[in-house]
Amino acid sequence: MKLVLALTQDGLSRYSAMVKDYAKFFSNSQGAFLGKKNTYAPKDEAVDDPSKRDYVRVVSTVDEKLKYFIGASQEYVQNVLTKERTNGMGVAKAILVVEGTPWGEFTSNELLCLKSLLDKGEFHQMIMAIPVRTETDIWAKTVDSDYSGREIFEKEKITQMVKTTVKESYILQDPNIDKLKDASAYKPQLASKDTVMELGVQTRQEFSGQWTHVQRAHALNRLTVLRDAVSVALEKANDVEVMESELTSEKLFGFIFG
């Protein structure tokens, strides 16, 4: 128990800091979830323009960040709930039922601790800050080999011909020049014409590792469902014997972000 208490004390600050860091990252690092690929192939007679090429790789996805969050919080969640279960030996207990599925039997101390975890403002703000894809654009699961096996989505690739306009000057033919006795002072009339030249083919495409608005809304809804289930379980609590907590970080946060 002394070891569990020590680990819980040390883990609290790390867990709180991680939640705050995640909320900050989701809010301020939207670019980490976005990518793009622009290509350009000049024609043989055209000068190359490297500025038309651009490649920004998606650094991370929401699912990848949350998978790490669940794993990193596993020890703290297990220790803090086990501590409360041990401290609550001989006090009230109840079965926690979430959407009709029993999650196990928990003491009132465990349920109170769980309620505290879920009610923390930072955790709710972290979910609210999860970056989401634009609803006005059409996104599809990417087939780009650069993102194989990852939850990356893409917009339609845009292909276009890059063109330029070349101005060309020429002398207008004057039919009266042959009739002049002295053409030394004659000034020819100049004109110009525009010629459109094709330089090459360019493609543009954008990528995203963000969630949809619906995914984020479902996570917030599941958080509410879980809070309500804990409140109901607390009301029905009865005495239990001491044992290691059955609730894990994977089950807890896996349900919310599932």
Q: What is the DSSP string of 106-151?
A: EEHHHHHHHHHHHH-HHHHHHHHT--B--SSS--EE---GGGTTS-
For 123, how many CA atoms within 13 A lie in the half-sphere containing its CB?
A: 21
Q: Is 73 exposed, middle or buried (0-12, 13-18, 19+ CB in 10 A)?
A: buried
Count Cβ neighbours within 10 Å for each residue of 76-94 and write b for 16 or more, e otherwise: bbbbbbbbbbbebeeebbb
The residues facing 162 across adjacent strands are 200
| H helix or E strand, kind and range, residue 202 | strand 190-208
What is the pLDDT tens value at each position of the chain, 258 positions in all? 556 666 777 788 888 889 999 999 999 999 999 999 999 999 988 889 999 999 999 999 999 999 999 998 988 888 888 777 766 665 567 899 999 999 998 887 788 888 888 886 788 889 999 999 999 999 999 999 999 999 999 999 999 999 999 888 877 777 776 666 666 677 777 888 888 999 999 999 999 999 999 999 999 999 999 999 998 988 876 444 435 677 778 888 888 888
User: Which residues does 221 contact at the CB level (< 8 Å), separation at least 6?
Assistant: none
User: Which residues does 54 contact at the CB level (< 8 Å), separation at least 6?
Assistant: 36, 37, 38
Asked whether 190 and 170 are in contact (CB, 8 A), the reply is: yes
Q: Where are the domains of the chain?
A: 2-170+189-257
